[in-house]
Structure 1
Amino acid sequence: MRLIHIRGLAAVAAVLVSGLSWGATEPPLVAEFRPDPAERAAFPTQTMMLDAARAGARIVAVGDRGVILLSDDDGKRYRQARSVPVGATLTSVSFIDEKNGWAVGHWGAILRTTDGGESWTQQRLDVAEDRPLFAVHFTDAQHGVAVGLWSLVLRTDDGGAHWLPVELPAPPGERFADRNLFAAFGSGRIFYVAGERGTVLSSHDGGQTWTYHMTGYRGSFWTGTAFDDGTVLVAGMRGNVYRSSDGGMQWTEIDSGVRTSLTSIQHLNGETLAVGLDGVILSSRDEGRTFKVTQQADRQALTAVVPLRDGAAALFARGGVVPAQP
């Protein structure tokens, strides 16, 4: 079985896929298996979080055992979502406004909320095999993509009522499309996907067809972000950051100033923030051309960042919510 690196945090071995193949003598157990609902955690803010996003003024974070956290005061306090039907690890979340969002994770789970993350419904679950989804992104209320293990790509044009599989072409010079895809993001109606072996793809037709972009990098990209002017940033292993100013046609390697894996990159109000293992935080005011580096004193593995309007950031880690600095 291949070693599978979970999106955004290569060091978190606990989130590695287990049971990708089932014993030939146990098909009835597969048919009967149903993940339990998310647990009501005794200390929810200490649950490993893997992604976070803004839902209007609210912050929504997702993570281990289906735990979803909500904050309405810019990360000072969090509470657990009221109802989450699947207790699988959730790896990614995407909102288009303050009410409508989607989350994805293990067992190919796709969840939908229409009340800002308070309650969630299940749109998809595949218990026949744990082929996890690592990322989800919506450009509007109807169009979204979810990506995951071994070039798994799903698209929807009806808000997730139906999810359609997309068969990717093989990368140039290769026979098969078998790359793990860890990040999904976009700008306007353009989708971007990034993953292992320096993979970046884009789609201009709602995820129906995809084009490979050769970055020149051979390692894994865990995260990415796109700007309205066509700038695209992707980041991943060993602090590698690559930048394109023309929608992915040409790429430049950027000196991030660190050599530890970067797990999340976001931008708001002219500032781009990235976080990674060893507690590193990168900030840029020039769309990723240069970065300033700081480091958390405890050096814990950071997994997600949400820029705040006052220039600060809400941080999430393997150990849960990172307390706001005074």
Structure 2
Amino acid sequence: MSNYKFGAGLLALVMGSSAQTVWGETPPLEYEISPHHVAIFDISTTDKGNYAVGERGVLLSSSAANPDAWKSQRLPAPQSVMGIAFGTGGHGVAVGHGGVILATTDDGETWTSIDASDHTRGDPFMDVAHLGDNRFLAVGAFGLVMGSDDGGLSWQPVSISEDYFDRHLYTIAQAGGDWLLIGESGSLFVSEDAGNSWSRLESPYEGSFFGGLQTPDGAWLLYGMRGQIWRSEDRGASWQKSPVDTKVAFNAHGIGPGNEVYLFGNGGQVLVSEDDGRHFAPSQRSGMPGDITAASRLNGKWLVGSTAGVRLWQASGE
């Protein structure tokens, strides 16, 4: 999973058989897909290469040696693909609209469509994460949470609350040894045991958060709509607001070369903090058209995905 998540999930929600099927060869494209003219919703970087998923089942991939030379393929699903994550041994998972789950065992060369329709009701998945070993977790709309213990080949519903819960979950974030589930209406859950059990946390904000992280100094940071950024030094027991002079939604994050905290948002806006997320100031604009949805540090630059494609970007002064 990339360092992010994800107001574009909210945008994508308003955009638009029982046997498993496998595409042993890359499906043909009706036309060449430009990496700068397709909506990208998630990116993942591994030692094998770089991957970006987006609208209408598009997968872009590039090699570690040539990260900006993208090749395109169609995944075996016509729906928008919202999240992608890789584990070990070639295993990876991509999830998306319509309850789509796709699995690979060969580092993304071929993909298998996994039928979980009995549990998803066709609701969209918004994110997927590798929790360690062969375990993956996927979350989505209306409280949808499912887990896999076999590298993504089979899936079961996961209960995160004793009470009825039907809010959208936008992202799964790792915070040190903990995992966070983050979503709309202040939805916030934490797991201290690698996703085996979940507890609900009191949110500092009643609106939607789109991402979270653990800062270099060990604090937790949440960010989301209307420029909301909140920081906790006691694992969510109390929160302090990081003031910013913007109402833009922030959807993605990353850690810079000097432990700066970067936040990426709508309209290509970028904020940077040099004091571990207590305060943020505008960085120079990324120049990315559209809204930034995903970001990952790569070879001294930023690999940035947006609703207008994927490309490399370098912040001034780096």
TM-score bin, normalised by smaller chain: 0.7 to 0.9
Shift of 1:261: 0.6
Listed as ranges, the matches of 1:234-253 within 5 Å are 234-253=222-241
CA distance in 1, matches of 2:184, 2:50: 28
What is residue 145 of structure 1 aligned with on the other side?
Answer: 137
What percent of counterpart residues are identical? 28
CA distance in 1, matches of 2:44, 2:244: 23
Listed as ranges, the matches of 1:304-319 within 5 Å are 304-310=294-300, 312-319=301-308
Q: CA RMSD in A?
A: 3.2
1:302 to 288, 292, 295: 292
1:184 to 172, 179, 195: 172
- What do the CA deviations read for 1:127-154 (whole angstroms, capped 9, x no partner)? 8832011111112132221111111111
CA distance in 1, matches of 2:235, 2:86: 23
Listed as ranges, the matches of 1:77-226 within 5 Å are 77-81=69-73, 84-96=75-87, 99-126=90-117, 129-169=121-161, 176-187=164-175, 189-226=177-214
CA distance in 2, matches of 1:211, 1:229: 24
- What do the CA deviations read for 1:193-246 (whole angstroms, capped 9, x no partner)? 100112211112343321111122011011222358643222110111122223
Q: TM-score, normalising length from structure 2?
A: 0.81
Judged with a 3 Å threshold, the aligned counterparts in structure 2 of structure 1 residues 277 and 126 are, in CA distance, closer, same or farther, namely same
Aligned residue type for 1:122: S
- What do the CA deviations read for 1:82-114 (whole angstroms, capped 9, x no partner)? x62222211112234694322211121222233
CA distance in 2, matches of 1:249, 1:262: 23
CA distance in 1, matches of 2:115, 2:255: 30
Shift of 1:7: 4.5
Judged with a 3 Å threshold, the aligned counterparts in structure 2 of structure 1 residues 67 and 162 are, in CA distance, closer, same or farther, namely same
Structure 1, unaligned stretches of length 5 or more?
A: 1-5, 19-29
Q: Is the 8 Å Cα contact of residues 52 and 62 (structure 1) preserved in structure 2? A: yes
Structure 2, unaligned stretches of length 5 or more?
A: none
Q: Is the 8 Å Cα contact of residues 220 and 236 (structure 1) preserved in structure 2? A: yes
CA distance in 2, matches of 1:31, 1:121: 13
What is residue 66 of structure 1 aligned with on the other side?
Answer: 57
Aligned residue type for 1:290: H
Q: TM-score, normalising length from structure 1?
A: 0.79
Q: Matched residue of 1:214: which SS? A: coil
State the number of aligned residues.
301
